[in-house]
Amino acid sequence: MHPIYKFSLHRLTGLALVLVATGAMAQQVYRQVDKNGKVTFSDRAPTASTEPASASQGGSTTPANAGLPYELRQVAQRYPVTLYSSDECGPCSTARSLLITRGIPFEERTVKSNEEIEALQRLSSQSSLPLLTIGSQQLKGFSDVEWSQYLDAAGYPKSNSLPAGYRNGPARPLVAQQAAPAPRAAAAPAAQPAPPPPASSEPSPSNPAGIKF
């Protein structure tokens, strides 16, 4: 055999072994995520019984936004809208109507008690209503033009795209009401002292006639 041919044959044989080894090392690796979000890697394909990762991993979806169209749901998660209102507040009713007519998913928080007024002042440095928050942006006082501009900038659609039958959640107090403490059990009546023994009706040196008092 020619020396050059013999050398080439050895190189081809070695290359084939390398390719075989490389093929073995490149065996399919499967990435699996359990229901708790734990990621594992294995060379065994996942079985049908393997539970997929929860859809809420990496960002939960609030129940109020679950039925929204995809694009609107993304905007609502990125820039959630909250309306702060009060009873007998005309601008608050107008503001609410704007959001409902335009199809904006929003949460409403009511301000009634002194404690809630103080919470509103800590939030916005004022106590006037309505107040609208879009993400971290605060809009103090109702203005149809201004509110619409900010909703447009956040990416909310200009016309109602909510699915039929969609309803925003009920208004909730700004400060959660604490449950009234359970009534305490009535204290047991104090033991009455034993009545004194009846005065003796028998005559004695101090009561020679035996008179009862």
Reference 156, options 148, 166, 164; nearest CA is 148
Q: What are the phi and psi torsion angles at 137 (to 5°)?
A: -80, 130
- Tell me what pLDDT residue 129 has: 96
Q: In the predicted model, what is the mean pLDDT of residues 107-122? A: 95
Quickly state the pLDDT bin for 74 (edges 50, 70, 90).
Answer: very high
Rounded to whole angstroms, how far apart are CA atoms 128 and 141? 7
Highest mean pLDDT among 44-53, 140-149, 194-203: 140-149
- Tell me what pLDDT residue 60 has: 41
Stronger pLDDT, 164 or 97, i.e. the higher one: 97
Query: What is the tens place of the pLDDT at every residue in 9-63?
Result: 444 444 444 444 444 444 555 556 555 555 555 556 655 444 433 333 444 434 5
Other beta carbons within 10 Å of 104: 23
Beta strand ranges found along the chain (DSSP E):
30-33, 39-42, 81-85, 106-110, 131-134, 137-140, 172-173
Contact present, 111 and 174 (Cβ < 8 Å) = yes
Give the rounded percent of residues in the chain with a pLDDT score beyond 90: 47
Domains recognised in the chain with CATH numbers: 68-156+167-173 (3.40.30.10)
Q: In the predicted model, what is the mean pLDDT of residues 99-120? A: 96
- Tell me what pLDDT residue 21 has: 44
- Degrees, nearest 5: CA angle 32-71-170: 100
